[in-house]
């Protein structure tokens, strides 16, 4: 079928709305009409820094309505409302142990470019293959072709244009806190970077009963939003040494790094107090982080990595837990969102880059979900 997609033709180039040919669902696959999709820093990082086999269709925070399903798909049918997330094999040791976010085939499946095992490709244009199925989705398009393991069915009364980022950004930030760190109530918490992932982590820390809760960011408007969402203190590192300020109080029990900047990762680790734990969320491809082993040993520090739903969590189950928090008013993600029409995708990316939009959401097909 012919779909409209925002096609990337090279690094640091604007995306172009073009027609692309999308294959029909094979066995185990689901065709989803995209109603809304978020823009994540990972999408932007791929465009700006990763030499993909261009052209490519990115996007991985899609939400929409199932159009059709392939052979063997169970529990899903046309008309179902769904959130999309990354895919996994369902067969490796990690998947079988309830750790699909750490699927041993994660890279091969989510960065295949749309190449299936039988040699066919999900996306084509002018008779040539396009890098598709990005992180299981390529949702910068009117339709996405995904595996059933990427699909999370939700109630039809939920707003798809709010639910979209639950598939990645919201899930990743909250998962880092609730699942990977497994924070305890009454413990101090700091987040370095008050973007969508960092603020999601902050809201999760509030849900868990942490305190005090500190947000560190260089943008005053984001620090103001952090206070609105539950921060008890904010620090602008352009005005104050964040590590020195936090260590003056003995250091924090938990720290989340959500910028993907190596120097900030070091700051998050250095801000920890005795027995403190840090989780690195931001993507820092090719960067090196310096760690003082003596400090790690003498202060009993723990440093963790996380992906998507985090440790000991299944995205399909965890997202429904997050939706329950949202319904209860404990996870007001709509305060992070700014909406754009699909044709405004380059403006939305620019707003994400300059920080004027925390979580840009594209509305597609002219629908207000």
pLDDT of residue 365: 66
**Inside any domain, residue 45:** yes
Residue range(s) defining the domain that contains residue 297: 170-305
Whether 133 and 197 map to the same domain: the answer is no
What is the average per-residue pLDDT within 272-288?
A: 87
Q: What's CA 313's distance to the chain center, in Å?
A: 15
What's the distance, Cα to Cα, between the start and end of the chain in Å?
24
Count how many Cα atoms sit within 13 Å of the Cα of residue 326 in the half-sphere of its side chain: 21
Percent of the chain at pLDDT > 90 equals 87
* Counted domains in the chain: 2
Whether 115 and 259 map to the same domain: the answer is no
Identify the H or E element spanning 316. helix 315-327
pLDDT band at 284 (very low <50, low <70, confident <90, very high): low
pLDDT tens-place string over residues 194-222:
999 999 999 999 999 999 999 999 999 99
CATH number at 317 reads: 3.90.180.10
For the chain, list the strands marked E by DSSP: 2-8, 16-22, 29-38, 56-57, 62-69, 81-84, 123-125, 128-129, 143-147, 151-154, 189-192, 213-216, 233-235, 252-257, 272-280, 302-305, 337-341, 359-363
pLDDT tens-place string over residues 292-306:
899 899 999 999 999
Whether 174 and 217 map to the same domain: the answer is yes
**Inside any domain, residue 369:** no
Whether 245 and 197 map to the same domain: the answer is yes
Whether 86 and 219 map to the same domain: the answer is no
Asked whether residue 368 carries a pLDDT value surpassing 50, the answer given is: no
Percent of the chain at pLDDT > 70 equals 98
Whether 84 and 109 map to the same domain: the answer is yes
Whether 159 and 192 map to the same domain: the answer is no
Whether 160 and 186 map to the same domain: the answer is no
């Amino acid at each position: 079928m012919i779909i409209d997609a925002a096609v990337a033709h090279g690094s640091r180039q604007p995306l172009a709305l073009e027609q692309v040919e999308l294959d029909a669902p094979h066995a185990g696959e689901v065709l989803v009409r995209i109603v809304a999709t978020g823009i994540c820093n990972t999408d932007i990082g791929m465009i700006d820094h990763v030499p993909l086999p261009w052209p490519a269709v990115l996007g991985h925070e899609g939400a929409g309505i199932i159009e059709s399903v392939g052979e063997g798909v169970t529990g899903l049918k046309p008309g179902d409302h769904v959130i999309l997330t990354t895919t996994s094999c369902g067969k490796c040791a990690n998947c079988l142990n309830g750790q699909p976010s750490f699927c041993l085939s994660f890279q091969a499946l989510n960065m295949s470019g749309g190449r299936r095992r039988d040699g066919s490709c999900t996306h084509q244009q002018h008779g040539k293959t396009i890098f598709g199925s990005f992180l299981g989705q390529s949702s910068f398009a009117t339709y996405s072709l995904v595996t059933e393991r990427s699909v999370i069915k939700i109630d039809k009364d939920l707003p798809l244009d709010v639910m979209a980022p639950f598939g990645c950004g919201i899930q990743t930030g909250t998962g880092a806190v609730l699942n990977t760190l497994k924070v305890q109530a009454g413990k101090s918490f700091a987040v370095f970077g008050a973007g969508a992932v960092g603020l999601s982590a902050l809201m999760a820390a509030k849900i868990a009963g942490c305190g005090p809760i500190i947000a560190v960011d260089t943008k005053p408007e984001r620090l103001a939003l952090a206070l609105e969402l539950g921060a008890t203190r904010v620090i602008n590192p352009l005005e104050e040494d964040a590590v020195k300020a936090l260590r003056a109080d003995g250091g924090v029990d938990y720290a989340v790094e959500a910028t993907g900047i190596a120097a900030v990762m070091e700051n998050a680790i250095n801000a920890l107090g005795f027995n403190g734990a840090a989780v690195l969320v931001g993507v820092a491809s090719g960067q090196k982080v310096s760690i003082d082993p003596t400090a790690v040993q003498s202060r009993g520090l723990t440093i963790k990595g996380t992906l998507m739903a985090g440790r000991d969590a299944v995205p399909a189950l965890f997202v429904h837990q997050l939706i329950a928090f949202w319904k209860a008013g404990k996870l007001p993600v709509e305060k992070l969102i700014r909406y754009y029409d699909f044709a405004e995708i380059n403006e939305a990316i620019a707003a994400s880059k300059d920080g004027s939009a925390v979580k840009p959401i594209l509305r597609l097909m002219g629908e207000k979900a």
